Structure formats: C-alpha cells, structure tokens
Amino acid sequence: MPPAPEPCAREGPHGLVIRAEPTSVRAALRSILAAPLVSEIAPGHRQTVELVLAEVLNNVVEHAYAPATGHVAIFLMRFSGGLVCEVIDNGAPMPNGTAPAGRLPEFDLSGCDLPEGGFGWYLIRSLACDITYRRQRGTNRLGFTIPLGPPVPQASYP
C-alpha cells in the first residue's frame, strides 16, 4: 500500500488512506463524519458509523500493526439501505484467519470492575452486517455494511 501524507490523504470522495496510529484514526473519523456521504445521514446513524469505524480502525492499530505501524485504506459507499465499508491493511492477519465472533467478555456484575477491552467485536457485530474478512497476498480486507434504516435515537448524555 503506498504511503500517505500525515495525518490522512483523500483518495477520492469515498475513500482515504491513513497512518495506522491513534492520531490519524481520530483525524480520519472527523473527516469521514464531515464528508457529505456521512454528514447527511440522520444523527443516530452517524453515531453508529463513528462507533463501528472507530472500533475497526483502533483494532487495526492495536492488533494488526502493534508494535509497528503502517497504513490503512478506508473505502465507503452509500446506498439506499446502508453504508458499505471496506478496510484494508497490511498488518498481521486475524487469529485463525477469521473475524472474531464478537462475544461479550465475562465479567462480574456484582462489582465495578468492568474489563478494559473485549467489547469491540461485540459492538461491530451488533451494529454492522454482511461482515466479511479475507487475507489475500499479505493484505487484510474487512468488509461490512452499516444499515441506515429508520432513524435511530441520538444518544444524549447528562
């Protein structure tokens, strides 16, 4: 994958290439959310898009490339029923050559000690559909669709 300028470079109206590091992920998410492709989506669906892409991209940074770095390509295409996404990287393959099942981690509800991680793939699988993963010639290709059906309520915080 060709190198990209910092922190991200547009590869057309629906795609970009970023460095696989946290600052570039944050910049990419801001860029994606501001693009008409996503900015015109109902607020609740935009939050879903942001959450799913943040989980996927942070997994690439933390697992596929750790401790090294590289680049990640993100391609988005909107259609009447959703947003089709493809994330491509040259990092390490997913364990067992498949995307994780997305089960919730085990934790004790009687205490306040929630696990630090382990919720990412559960969220991805809960909010996206048509998830595909393949490793091809040293490249990871993760595809998924984020449904954009009837508006979902926008989260509000006190």
* CATH code of the domain containing 113: 3.30.565.10
In a domain, 68, yes or no: yes
CA dist 100 and 124 (Å) reads: 10
DSSP string, 51-70: HHHHHHHHHIIIIISTTS--
DSSP string over 5-57 = -SSEEE-STTEEEEESSHHHHHHHHHHHHHSHHHHTS-HHHHHHHHHHHHHHH
Whether 154 maps to a domain, the answer reads: no
Q: Kindly state whether residue 156 falls inside one of the protein's structural domains.
A: no
**pLDDT (tens digit, 9 = 90+) per residue, 33-51?**
999 999 999 999 999 999 9
Residue 157 falls within a domain, yes or no?
no
Backbone angles phi, psi at 134, to 5 degrees: -150, 145
Q: Is residue 98 in some structural domain?
A: yes
pTM for the full model? 0.81
Q: What is the pLDDT of residues 131-143, one digit of tens each?
A: 999 999 999 999 9
Residue 155 lies in a domain: no
- For the chain, how many structural domains are there in total? 1
The boundaries of the domain holding residue 73 are: 8-147
Reference 56, options 15, 86, 82, 81; nearest CA is 86
Residue 131's SS3 state is strand
Q: What does R_g of the chain's alpha carbons equal in angstroms? A: 16
User: Confidence band (pLDDT; 50, 70, 90) for 93?
Assistant: very high
pLDDT for residue 94 is more than 80? yes
Residue 2 lies in a domain: no
